[in-house]
Structure 1
Amino acid sequence: MSSQQDPQLFRDPWAKREAWRKHPVFSRRAMFARAFPGFGVALVAFTTYVVAENMLTKGKSH
C-alpha cells in the first residue's frame, strides 16, 4: 500500500470560484494605486509649479 494519498481525493471543488480572490487586480498595491486616481499627475504638476515659481521669484523681494 502506498503512503501517498490520491491528489483527486482532496481536490477543492470551489477552487475555480475562489480563484478571483488571488488575481493581481485585487492585490493591496493595485487597490491603493486605484484609490487616488490622478494623484501622481497632480503631485508632479504641483511640484513643477512650486519649483518654477521659486526660480522666477528668487531675486524679487515682496
Structure 2
Amino acid sequence: MADGPLYRDPWARREAWRKLPIFSNTARIRNLFPGFGIALVAFGTYLVADQFMLKSSSHEHKSSHH
C-alpha cells in the first residue's frame, strides 16, 4: 500500500500557481497601495521642514517689530 493518500488530485498541477508567494495575502496587502511608504516619508519630511521654516520666520518677524 502507498504511504500517501489513496486519491490523487487531477487538478493539482493546474492549481499550483495559487501557492506562489506573489499571491499570498501579505504580498497583496503590501502591493495594495504602491508608493504609499515613499509618499508618507516625503509628506513627513515636508511637515518637519515646514515647522522649521515657520519657527525661523516667526522669530525674524517678532524681532523686526521691536
Higher helix share: 2
Q: Structure 1: any 5+ residue segments left out of the alignment?
A: none
Q: What displacement does 1:12 show?
A: 2.1
Between the aligned residues of both structures, percent identity stands at: 55
* Superposition TM-score, scaled by structure 2 size: 0.70
The match for 1:29 is: 26
Kindly report the root-mean-square deviation, in angstroms, between the aligned alpha carbons of the 2 structures: 2.1
- Which 5+ residue runs of structure 2 have no aligned equivalent? 62-66
Q: Does 1:40 align with 2:37?
A: yes
Structure 2 partner of 1:20:
17
Determine which structure has more spread, i.e. the larger CA radius of gyration.
2
The aligned length equals 58
- 1:39 deviates by 0.8
